[in-house]
Chains A and B, each alone.
Chain A
Amino acid sequence: MIRTTLLLATLFALAACDGMPGRPKPASRWKSPSEITDFATLYRQNCLGCHGMDQEVSGSLPMDAKTYLAVLPREVLFDVIAGGIPSTAMPGFSTKSGGTLTEAQIKILADGILAKKPSAPDATLPPYAAEPGDPARGATAFAAACASCHGEGGTGGKAGSVVHPAYLDLVSSQYLRTIVIAGRPDLGCPDFANRIPGRRMTNEEISDVVAWLTSNRKNEFGQPLVPVKSSLP
């Protein structure tokens, strides 16, 4: 009887052995960085450092800002991840640009980010890109829409200056336009629809404010200006 019990116990132990916690899971098998196809992992490894997630405050535009996602064309997002934006803090991540991501991985990132896009976007949204407007009108629009936080002439206020020459040199004109449209929800900066009490900013006002902001560039640090592009970032 005891022998049988011992024999059974041994067999049971041997069978259980293969299920012990030390057994490496197939998922723990080493994968080359180019084999990673999981959006969450790719985002955490490549984007989280600057773009944050889940309403956390981030250095650059958060990739879950609703208005931003609503106006952002997919091909622009793909191109920016792949090639970066020259003269800004956004590097290119594709292998062609000296990064480490494959085209397939960049597609996964772009699709994953846009998966949070509102399902029924507002038809009256301003276009993502547009020609610059009139700087003089822009100054007036800025005073109405932005000066309450950024101060008169954009030189300060509780949210800080947006006309500091170094700041304007480090960001692209499209970046300025994107923020005028989408705001920075993580920092409490409202989008174009909620800046002026009682009404939305018009498409012209948006283009004018961007034109006025870029007209403040002084290039006083002796660096080439960020190339001003109208259709691409």
Chain B
Amino acid sequence: MNKVIQAARGIFLWVDDRLHLTKLYESTAGHHVPQSSGSWFYVFGSATLLCFMVQVATGIMLAMVYVPSAAEAYASLEYLTFHQYLGWFLRAVHYWGSNFMVGIMLLHMTQVFLFGAYKYPREITWITGVFLMVLTLGLAFTGQVMRFDEDAYWGLGIGVAILGRVPFLGEQLVNLMLGGPIIASDTLSRFFALHVFVLPGGVLAIVSLHLRMVLTKGINEYPRPGQLVQRETYDKEYAAILKKEGVPFFPKAISKDLVAASIVLFGILACASFFGPKGPLGPPNPVQIDTLPRPDFFFLWIFAVAALMPDWMESVALLGGPVIIGLFLLALPFFNGTGEKSWRRRPIAVLTVLLTYVALGLLTYLGHTSPWSPEMEAWKSDPTPKEFLAGRSPLELQGSLVIQSMQCRNCHAIDGIGGQRGPDLAAVGARLTKDQLIRQVIQGGGNMPAYGKNLSPDQVEAVVTYMVSLRPPGVTPARDSTLPGRPPLE
């Protein structure tokens, strides 16, 4: 028995001598970190990395079935979703893994920002993190293209339309991206190469640097209010902290990371099991116009920004915005590299985070509901609620039919049913007089097109008479305010 142990020891020592495994262990898992960093707030980085590993594992399996060709991708997605045993689950885990990765990465970044971890001497840790964020969003976008359905097609169209606005280089960039001027057979291959080789390769390379920086410059100690970072003294202070209360990363500090990892893994699997994969929706066919394309949730806010911006702002904001945000993030550790770390004494940092979250949240909600999009089927599928029809005269009923057949309902809801782009018509008779309604219908205005050329005088008469009747019970029609005392115009 002893001989066996002796031999094994000999082999291990030989391997260790060649590969320096013990040293590697000491400098990584065994390296000391401040005890205070073993906090629940410090688990998001490793959780993001875990998501990435889930993506790599499921991505490899998906790539065994998925056909990255414009002609066959959709069929292979359908095969995965409906025929391959547990293929749907694989797609679901990859989809939810990406959602979790983007979300947890955002939490990681927020925590690092609020805890001042980007300050001296961890500038490069932060900068590599910014690049990782860009790569992660790139993976998310190209991943959305891999699900080669109508959302992918139109999302890609919008993406390259933005790219095409780059001054001087726009056309070349679009050609580079799409493999031609339009989305065609080369496009998907390019995005496949980006999604599967280029971007994950970049993530691996930069994550290595990111983790290397974590090892060389240490994990940020849990900041205490009033403890200021100074370039001259910080390194000594950090060394003192490590000496006084340093613990080996493994097994002390990693325990919470492991618990968090299992929670995240469980979350991904649970979401995948209960909510399943997304799509594929309709095929990526530009002739198929019966479609309501939406980006995945992490880009809904951009969708909302692009839809709500005034025209003149678009190029400036869509091209300048990312550059400004990127430069701000990259420059942050240099213009704000010292001083207070604790969020308790950094009100501007806290406000920045709150404002960003509120803005992103609201824009995401708006992107999800997209009230600016007409509901193209409302005119023929959304009936007028009965209380807005009962008791109406034959002419008024014809007016309600004109509202349907001329597709007014696509933009104007009645009592909340129908498009949300224009005002709800449920009480329009109490707001506008008959004359005002005629003028609005014929001349348009306030974002509404003029319908004077599309409606006959009979139709206008019917539609306006009907709209005057749209009032809450007991409310008189709107009166002409320039004619006081006159009875309302019926």
Residues of A within 8 A of B (CB): 17-18, 20-24, 26, 29-30, 32-33, 44-50, 52, 56-60, 89-91, 100, 159-162, 164-167, 169-171, 187, 221-223
Quick one: which of B274, B281, B394, B400 contacts A21, CB cutoff 8 A? B274
Task: State the Cβ distance, A21 to closest chain B Cβ, in Å.
Answer: 5
- Chain B residues whose C-beta falls within 8 Å of the C-beta of A47 in the assembled complex: 380
A23-B88, A30-B280, A32-B282 are contacts. A223–B394 as well, Cβ < 8 Å?
no
The reply to whether B288 and A223 contact each other, CB–CB distance below 8 Å, is no
Q: What is the bound-complex CA distance between A32 and B290, given in angstroms?
A: 9
Interface residues of chain B: helix, strand, loop or mixed (majority): helix
Q: What is the bound-complex CA distance between A223 and B85, given in angstroms?
A: 64
- Chain A residues whose C-beta falls within 8 Å of the C-beta of B404 in the assembled complex: 49-50, 59, 89
Given contacts A29-B82, A89-B398, 13 further A-B contacts (CB under 8 A): A17-B273, A18-B86, A18-B89, A22-B89, A30-B279, A48-B380, A58-B383, A89-B404, A161-B395, A166-B457, A169-B458, A221-B457, A223-B456
Q: What is the bound-complex CA distance between A57 and B400, given in angstroms?
A: 12
Q: What is the bound-complex CA distance between A32 and B289, given in angstroms?
A: 10
A47-B380, A57-B390 are contacts. A166–B461 as well, Cβ < 8 Å?
yes
Task: State the Cβ distance, B44 to closest chain A Cβ, in Å.
Answer: 26
Residues of B within 8 A of A (CB): 78, 81-82, 85-86, 88-89, 92, 149, 271-277, 279-283, 288, 290, 377-384, 386, 389-390, 392-398, 400-402, 404-405, 409, 456-459, 461-462, 465
Closest to B149 in A: A30
Q: What is the bound-complex CA distance between A170 and B456, given in angstroms?
A: 10
Q: What is the bound-complex CA distance between A90 and B400, given in angstroms?
A: 12
- Chain B residues whose C-beta falls within 8 Å of the C-beta of A89 in the assembled complex: 398, 401-402, 404-405
The A-B contact count (CB < 8 A) is 138
Q: What is the bound-complex CA distance between A33 and B292, given in angstroms?
A: 14
The reply to whether B393 and A161 contact each other, CB–CB distance below 8 Å, is yes
Task: State the Cβ distance, A95 to closest chain B Cβ, in Å.
Answer: 13
Closest to B269 in A: A17
The reply to whether B458 and A170 contact each other, CB–CB distance below 8 Å, is yes
- Chain A residues whose C-beta falls within 8 Å of the C-beta of B288 in the assembled complex: 32
Task: State the Cβ distance, A112 to closest chain B Cβ, in Å.
Answer: 16
Closest to B272 in A: A22
List, sorted by A's number, 18 A–B pairs whose CB atoms are closer than 8 Å. Answer: A18-B85, A18-B89, A22-B275, A23-B88, A24-B88, A24-B277, A30-B280, A46-B381, A48-B381, A49-B381, A50-B404, A58-B383, A59-B389, A59-B397, A89-B404, A162-B394, A166-B398, A167-B462
Closest to A23 in B: B88
Task: State the Cβ distance, B96 to closest chain A Cβ, in Å.
Answer: 9
Q: What is the bound-complex CA distance between A23 and B85, given in angstroms?
A: 11
Q: What is the bound-complex CA distance between A230 and B231, given in angstroms?
A: 96
- Chain B residues whose C-beta falls within 8 Å of the C-beta of A57 in the assembled complex: 386, 389-390
- Chain B residues whose C-beta falls within 8 Å of the C-beta of A22 in the assembled complex: 88-89, 92, 271-277
Q: What is the bound-complex CA distance between A29 and B83, given in angstroms?
A: 12
- Chain A residues whose C-beta falls within 8 Å of the C-beta of B378 in the assembled complex: 49
- Chain A residues whose C-beta falls within 8 Å of the C-beta of B78 in the assembled complex: 29
Q: What is the bound-complex CA distance between A222 and B456, given in angstroms?
A: 9
- Chain B residues whose C-beta falls within 8 Å of the C-beta of A30 in the assembled complex: 149, 279-283
- Chain A residues whose C-beta falls within 8 Å of the C-beta of B392 in the assembled complex: 160
- Chain A residues whose C-beta falls within 8 Å of the C-beta of B92 in the assembled complex: 22
- Chain B residues whose C-beta falls within 8 Å of the C-beta of A44 in the assembled complex: 381
Quick one: which of B271, B389, B465 contacts A58, CB cutoff 8 A? B389
- Chain A residues whose C-beta falls within 8 Å of the C-beta of B400 in the assembled complex: 59
